[in-house]
Structures are given as C-alpha cells and as structure tokens.
Amino acid sequence: MRFVQDIPHPQFRIGLYAWNGKYIVKIEAGPYEQTYKVSEMDLSTPEDITTMLDNEFLNQVRQRFQDMDADWQATGERNDIFQ
C-alpha cells in the first residue's frame, strides 16, 4: 500500500493511500477507524477524494464513530469488562 497524502481535518486523521488499482481513505478518531475504497477508474484525479469528503459525509462519519464507541462500551459493560 502506497501512502499518497494526509488530508487535513480538525477532528479526524484522514489518510489517502493507493493499492491494487484502488484509493483507500482511512479516517481515524481515537481507537476507531473507518476505511473506504474506491476504484482509481471511478475518479478523474485523487483530488476527487477530497471533494467527496464534504460536510454531510463527514457528519455521517462522526455519527458512525459515536455509534461504534457506544457499541464498544455496551459490550464491555454487558460482559463485565468495563465497570
């Protein structure tokens, strides 16, 4: 996997990678990560990825991270791991 660039964001760490004919977008927040893959053939340039990371999309990413955290906390509590 080849690193292409970091995409600045105040809340998330966003990295763009290229691998096997695909762009891979990794979005990290704390211990959680979301990964999106898109074929290089579907885009004109790698900059199209930045355009796709609009406010509406990133708000959904933020919500998904919150849901992931809630799920993780719930399973920890349900199984007496987290107090």
Q: Is residue 83 part of a domain?
A: no
- Rounded to two decimals, the pTM is 0.92
Total domain count, the chain: 1
Asked whether 26 and 17 are in contact (CB, 8 A), the reply is: yes
Q: Is residue 30 part of a domain?
A: yes
* Domain region containing 55: 2-78
Contacts 24+ apart (CB under 8 A), 53-56: 53/7, 53/9, 53/14, 53/25
Residues 13, 35, 75: CA angle, nearest 5 degrees: 90
Q: Is residue 37 part of a domain?
A: yes
Taking 80 as the threshold, does the pLDDT of residue 83 lie above it? Answer: no
Q: Is residue 65 part of a domain?
A: yes
Q: How do residues 3-58 score in pLDDT, each as one tens digit?
A: 999 999 999 999 999 999 999 999 999 999 999 999 999 999 889 999 999 999 99
Question: CA of 25: how far to CAs of 8, 75, 78, in Å?
Answer: 13, 28, 32
